[in-house]
Amino acid sequence: MALDTNTEPNSLGFAKPPAETRVVVAMSGGVDSSVVAAQLAEEGYDVVGVTLQLYDHGAALAKKGACCAGRDIHDARRVAGEMGFPHYVLDYENVFRDAVIDEFADSYLAGATPVPCIRCNERVKFRDLLETAKDLDADCMATGHYIRRKAGANGPELHRAADAARDQSYFLFSTTREQLDYLRFPLGHLPSKDATRALAAKYGLGVADKPDSQDICFVPNGDYASVIEKLRPGAADAGEIVDTRGRVLGHHEGVIHYTIGQRRGLGIGGLSEPLYVVKLDVEERRVIVGPKEMLATRTVPVREVNWLGDAAFASAPEWHVTVKVRSTRPAADAVIRPLGPDSAEVELLTPEEGVSPGQACVFYEADSSRVLGGGWIWKG
């Protein structure tokens, strides 16, 4: 929306009073999105809260600490009531299963290590929910993610959060330019989670001391294997644990129980050196183990690249950037060599261990907080 140069933009960047600016807030029921909704309501915006029911509500009620459980829907509704704005619960169960859960299970069965939270942001929250926000005639959609949206010379830019410990840029790399134009992230500038909780207390929100969600919302207690076995019966077929020469060292109860880089729980003790999972051979149902140095990776093939740089991705033979190959890793120096408009080879200047297909490789501008996008790691 073009700004009227005679009107001072409001805090969301629109040249009109907050009361005339409708904003849909994606509310998970947690403290972060609740603070966003409460803050915008207090500032006088026309706030509409929306919570997504993403999987079986009955099953959700039996599990605490997940982002989409029945308690969370109740908490989101309560915040809306306390702050005096409308709140809706949308049934996205089928969409979520088709767009996120099925791929999660299939990726694990193929020996990858998927990141379903990224797919949920990409395919559900920032696609379907964003379209719903537009259908509600909202000027923008706000979320409780810790990331910053800044005005740039060529339009809005995505930047890491001010609090490095809370930064969620790894999980939002696939946000497109069009989506970024419509999205707002009011918490990205805050110095700490304590600051968020202080705001929740200021607004008198009952969720001020609510613990953060730790698990993927449809994976109770981090037990991926049991979820996959339920979704894909027969997925836990037994097989062999072998070394790189094919020598059988032990047996396993399903490849889905293992990830690249895993050392603990292999059940092959008594060896002269520690061994790590270096490869998963799904077709042969084999877990291949080797010494730690075999985990070091320098070349990372990526596809489905989302590029947020100013120039076209394939317009240069290479880009010197920093990248993250896991959410918990620090960004490291790398060179991206485009192979087409949405595929590339990433060279890590310092080899990293445990790089796994199914994870994201997220690009950052060197010596800057700017997020340049990223892609999905695959086997090549």
Catalytically annotated residues: 120, 217
Are 323 and 363 in contact by the 8 Å Cβ rule? The answer is yes
- Looking up tokens 């890793």 gives 329
CA 304, 260, 145, 121 torsion-angle sign: positive
Distance CA(292)–CA(263), nearest Å, equals: 9
Which two structure tokens, joined as six digits, stand for 152? 């740039």
Closest to 188 in 3D by CA, of 150, 152, 145: 145
3-class secondary structure per residue, 289-315: EECHHHHEEEEEEEEEEEECCCCCHHH
DSSP letter, residue 231 = H
- Looking up tokens 């445990």 gives 354
* Coil vs helix vs strand at 71: helix
DSSP letter, residue 97 = I
Closest to 374 in 3D by CA, of 316, 312, 303, 300: 303
